[in-house]
Amino acid sequence: MHIGFMIPHWDHIDPIKSSTLTVIKECFERGHTVSILYTNNLTVRNNIVHGFIKTIAKMEKIPENITSFYKKVQLEKNFIALHAFDCLMLRKDPPINPIVLNFLDAIKDEVIIVNDVDGIRKANNKLYTTTFHDPDNTYLPVTHVSGSKKFINKTINESPSEKMILKPLDGSGGRGVIVLEKNAKENINSLLDFYIDDQGDNYVILQEFIQGADEGDVRVLMLDGKFIGAYNRKPAEGEVRANMQTGGSAHKYTLTESQKKICKKVGSKLVSDGLFFVGLDMIGDKILEVNVLNPGGITNINKLNKLKLQKKVVDFIEDKVHEKIEKRVELEYLLKRLNKLRE
């Protein structure tokens, strides 16, 4: 198989932390052709979508150590039509440029894309949770989204809570997440001036502060609608954000029965939207965010639980590709039978 990975940049990978590199290495060890692709390397040649890709050159011996593997990789430049891929994994922090998805529309019926292009469109930012239809807030926190400073101010004033979370709609990695406190009202307007422009084009999320948030959150990895692993992310001292990018630490965690039920409940929705590899961020029984473009956590979950989740991910990719091939062969057979009957 030829498996592609759309990533920010190869040189920016941290081999110790990168879930993407872990999956790439597993694909390569299984004998698959592995290539990387950047979003600015997409092009159209005579109405066919192509890409300037970099393919990992064959190795006589593949290092067992992930850092050694990363250092040994040699990338060979190629120019191919993207429908030559059997699978393309999108591994880029959100939001993704809608034009990139337009490029991928041309191949989505021929290539397994993880996650699905139309699913990415639905979940390209944090508004996706509104499609879960949980008006009673049984597993979603009370959340407001607006580009209106007046509405946000009014909502803060009317809230019974002393604390609320404010964050940008398109943020990732914990960037821009702050805790608002009612007793510091004089700072709220200046914060909103920073987050929202005069045209109201920059939307922000105002979310209830969930008890226990100061102890961090739980990253749950979902594959094909089922959870495959989780770990607790605890914030650094003096920090509210538990993301690894902001200095958070990883700790072993076992999902509660109620959390498992919630994961099962949303799992079928994720699959129906073509969102096969997803990271859920949870505090208690509330889902804070759904990460569909570049969910991390494989390396931490593996280390804490002596697992190799990348094997499950690549098993899934192989199964999806084989399933597509079998359907194609079956369709070709039926068409041949139909043509013979017409003769």
pLDDT at 213: 81
The tokens describing 264, both together, are 């099962």
Of 39 and 162, the structure prediction assigns the larger pLDDT to 39
In terms of domains, do 7 and 106 share one? yes
Q: Does a structural domain hold residue 277?
A: yes
Q: Is the pLDDT of residue 126 over 90?
A: no
User: Is the predicted pLDDT of residue 242 greater than 60, yes or no?
Assistant: no
Residues 117 and 53 in one domain: yes
Q: Which has more confidence, 206 or 214?
A: 206
User: 292, 283, 327: which is closest to 110 by C-alpha?
Assistant: 327
Q: For residue range 229-241, what is the model confidence (pLDDT) as tens digits?
A: 999 999 877 565 5
Question: pTM score, two decimals?
Answer: 0.90
Q: Quickly state the pLDDT bin for 265 (edges 50, 70, 90).
A: very high
Residue 245 pLDDT greater than 60, yes or no: no
At 317, which CATH number?
A: 3.40.50.20
CATH number of the domain where residue 273 is located = 3.30.470.20
SS3 6: strand
Does residue 315 sit in the same domain as residue 297?
A: no
Q: From residue 210, give the alpha-carbon distance in Å to each of 65, 135, 140, 165, 167.
A: 40, 17, 11, 9, 15
Above 90 in pLDDT, residue 39? yes
DSSP count for the chain of H helices, then E strands: 9, 16
Task: Tell me, yes or no, whether 51 lies in a domain.
Answer: yes
Q: What is the pLDDT of residues 57-95, one digit of tens each?
A: 999 999 999 999 999 999 999 999 999 999 999 999 888
130 assigned to some structural domain: no
Kindly state the average pLDDT of the residues 188-203. 80
Give yes or no: residues 276 and 165 share one domain: no
Q: Which residues constitute the domain of residue 182?
A: 142-208
Residue 202 sits in the same domain as residue 219: no
Q: Tell me, yes or no, whether 10 and 75 share the same domain.
A: yes
331, part of any domain: no
Average pLDDT (247-265) is 93
| Residue 153 sits in the same domain as residue 114 | no
Task: Return d(Cα 276, Cα 269) in angstroms, integer.
Answer: 10
- Amino acid 143: pLDDT: 93
At 185 the pLDDT is 67
Q: Distance (Å, rounded) from C-alpha 141 to C-alpha 205?
A: 12
Query: How many domains, in total, are found in the chain?
Result: 3
Question: Within this chain, do residues 101 and 33 fall inside the same structural domain, yes or no?
Answer: yes
Percent over 90 (pLDDT), the chain: 69
Average pLDDT along the chain: 91
Q: Are residues 62 and 36 in the same domain?
A: yes
List, for residues 276-316, the tens digit of each pLDDT value: 999 999 999 999 999 999 999 999 999 999 999 999 999 99
Reply yes or no on whether the pLDDT at 244 is more than 60: no
